Chain A
Amino acid sequence: MNEILWYTSRATGIVSIVLLTYVVVAGVIISGRRRPHGASPTILMALHRWIALGMSVFLLLHITTAIAETYVNINWISFVVPFTSGYAPFQVGLGTLAFDLMIAVLVTSYLRHRIPERRWKGVHWLAYGLWPIAVIHGFTLGTSNEWVLRLITLACGVVGLLAIAWRINARHHDRRRRDVILEQEWS
């Protein structure tokens, strides 16, 4: 039984990091690109939202199985309080931290139309923090005989970084024009 829990936590962990990377990349493309026509913005937006939801399910499973299994000592408090785990407190703590940030992002996104837009935006930007934390958590907790999982995690890291690098450089016309005009005297 415990072995099942152990393998489930590893498997759901890797699925979570892949899906999270997908969500982040989709989000980056949505915010960084404009195409006047076509279905892609809607599809991207739908995927961004739905994959985030799906990832949450895998993530909850990942955390509960990791805590429930007895091979390593992680207690329930580590669900939400970072760096309190008995086993690998720092690496596990990174995961907890990422999860805490994710709760904030998910809740504010669910309540987006009921809170001020700048609040939603400020919290959503935490995603740029939580994603690398999650990747490092995943990579450092990989074991040497699970090199496939580590490779996948690494690949997620690379893909995500490329997307973010593109986002930093790519300026679409709306943002560019707004910024140029913002430089003028307005106060």
Chain B
Amino acid sequence: MTSTSPQLTGVRLLDALDASGLTGRGGAAFPSAVKLRAMTKRHTAVIVNACDGELGAVKDGWVVANHLDELLHGADLVRGLARGAVTFAAHRGSGTERRLRSAGVDVLDAPSRYVSSEESSLISLSQGGLARPMTKRSLYIQGGRDSTGRRIAPTIVLNAETVWRIAQIAERGPEWFRRFGTASEPGPRLASVGGYVGRPVVVETQAGVPVGELLAAARTPADAEYVLVNGLGGAFASIAGVSSAAWSREGLAPFGGRLGPGIIDVVDPRRCPLDMVTELLAYAAGESAGQCGPCMFGVPELSGLWQQYVRTPSARHRRALDINLGLLPGRGGCKFPDGVAGLAVNALAVFADHITEHAAGRCRYAARRTA
């Protein structure tokens, strides 16, 4: 691929990223130019996050597998701005880790824990600490201290797809980037579509396409009923309802969803979705980093209260569940309890009818299982 125009670097690159409207592709969607500009003149270490940490995420590994050269070039461009060492983060034992090591780059292998791929977890791990989130009292991009007062060197963490897009924008310009997507969510995007599908796939797409188009790209069977958008920190939606909706902030908002890390998991229609939620919450209960009370007690408690409610959907059990859910958001050391609580609240709404069925002692999925 030869470029006909000179490569953008340094300040001109930042301006181009501003103009392009590129936002982080890891899920938080923070404006990338603003993030890069937040670095100070000191050496800032760079971590390219290719962990695919959210459940059902595969797009970052896909970038490493299919666009490694451009990704490495993007990392180089970021290094030019950061003036620190670049490290690529992947989960230990993953194919992504293997590929990165074969490429000869510096690899940070994170343990396969749910919160270990969070930005501050990776920063902590990269500086000899544990792969658990650090307090948000400091902005680690300019360096700060964790809760014990340990000094943390300035580090910027960027999602792998984001870094790939930076290379693309440097090559093709911000106008090219804006040709895709919507005005508020511009640019090409990757979506990981998997689960109960004909073929799990990473779709090269953009904000604004109908969700149904993404489901079709993965050859989703006609008997599929629900999707889980964005994993453990996401939301369920009925395919009937969301299929015609735009895959964008505005399109997904009525369903409690968002673009986020771009994951669509089609739920197996032969299983009771409440069982799936039970499994997800039980998994979450075991993934607390154990650093703050509301999470290390509240999330396991949520898992127990959910199971209790699904087994016996009484008003009393529902009240206990609601109280627990009200005390999770905004009270943790990181956003993990927020995501899990959001998923449970969403599930209670989306599967309300089915919960009523359970209350009457029936479950239509039990019949499907034996069929």
How extensive is the interface on chain A, given as a class? 10 to 19
Interface centre among A117, A120, A180 (most CB of B within 10 A): A117
Interface hits, A173-187 → B, CB 8 Å: 173-174, 177-178, 180-182, 184-187
Q: Say whether B145 contacts A186, CB under 8 Å.
A: no
In the assembled complex, which residues on chain A have CB atoms less than 8 Å from the CB atom of B125? 187
Interface presence of A119 (CB below 8 A): yes
* Number of inter-chain CB pairs below 8 Å: 45
Interface presence of B4 (CB below 8 A): no
Interface hits, B298-341 → A, CB 8 Å: none
B89 to chain A, nearest CB (A): 13
Interface presence of B148 (CB below 8 A): yes
B: number of interface residues (CB 8 Å): 22
* Chain B 263-302 per-residue mask, 1 if CB under 8 angstroms from chain A, else 0: 0000000000000000000000000111101001100000
Q: Say whether B131 contacts A117, CB under 8 Å.
A: no
A167 to chain B, nearest CB (A): 20
In the assembled complex, which residues on chain B have CB atoms less than 8 Å from the CB atom of A120? 149
A116 to B145, CA, bound (A): 8
Interface presence of A118 (CB below 8 A): yes
Q: Say whether A117 contacts B293, CB under 8 Å.
A: no
A117 to B147, CA, bound (A): 7
Contact of A186 among B116, B149, B293 (CB under 8 A): B116
Q: Which residue of B lies closest to A174 (CB)?
A: B293
Interface presence of B25 (CB below 8 A): no
Interface hits, B123-151 → A, CB 8 Å: 125, 129-132, 145, 147-151
Known pairs A186-B132, A187-B130; A181 contacts B149 (CB<8 A): no
Interface presence of A126 (CB below 8 A): no
Interface centre among A115, A116, A180, A181 (most CB of B within 10 A): A181
Q: Say whether A116 contacts B131, CB under 8 Å.
A: no
Q: Say whether A181 contacts B145, CB under 8 Å.
A: no
A76 to B289, CA, bound (A): 53
Q: Which residue of B lies closest to A181 (CB)?
A: B290
Q: Say whether A177 contacts B149, CB under 8 Å.
A: no
Interface hits, A156-182 → B, CB 8 Å: 173-174, 177-178, 180-182
In the assembled complex, which residues on chain B have CB atoms less than 8 Å from the CB atom of A177? 290, 296-297
A178 to B291, CA, bound (A): 6
Q: Which residue of A lies closest to B111 (CB)?
A: A185
In the assembled complex, which residues on chain A have CB atoms less than 8 Å from the CB atom of B145? 116
Interface of B is mostly: loop
Q: Which residue of B lies closest to A121 (CB)?
A: B148
Interface presence of B113 (CB below 8 A): yes
In the assembled complex, which residues on chain B have CB atoms less than 8 Å from the CB atom of A116? 145, 148-151
A182 to B129, CA, bound (A): 12
In the assembled complex, which residues on chain B have CB atoms less than 8 Å from the CB atom of A118? 148-150
B162 to chain A, nearest CB (A): 25
A187 to B124, CA, bound (A): 10
* Chain A 119-152 per-residue mask, 1 if CB under 8 angstroms from chain B, else 0: 1110000000000000000000000000000000
A35 to chain B, nearest CB (A): 14
Q: Say whether B290 contacts A185, CB under 8 Å.
A: no
A18 to B290, CA, bound (A): 39
* Chain A 28-48 per-residue mask, 1 if CB under 8 angstroms from chain B, else 0: 000000000000000000000
In the assembled complex, which residues on chain B have CB atoms less than 8 Å from the CB atom of A180? 290
A116 to B147, CA, bound (A): 9
A115 to B149, CA, bound (A): 8
Q: Which residue of A lies closest to B288 (CB)?
A: A181
Interface centre among A115, A118, A173, A186 (most CB of B within 10 A): A186
Q: Say whether B149 contacts A117, CB under 8 Å.
A: yes
Q: Which residue of A lies closest to B293 (CB)?
A: A174
Task: Name the 9 nearest CB pairs between A and B, nearest first.
Answer: A116-B149, A181-B290, A117-B149, A186-B130, A118-B148, A185-B111, A177-B296, A118-B149, A187-B130
- A interface residue numbers (CB < 8 A to B): 115-121, 173-174, 177-178, 180-182, 184-187
Can you sample 14 A-B contacts with CB below 8 Å?
A115-B149, A116-B148, A116-B150, A118-B149, A120-B149, A121-B148, A174-B293, A177-B297, A178-B296, A185-B113, A186-B116, A187-B111, A187-B125, A187-B131
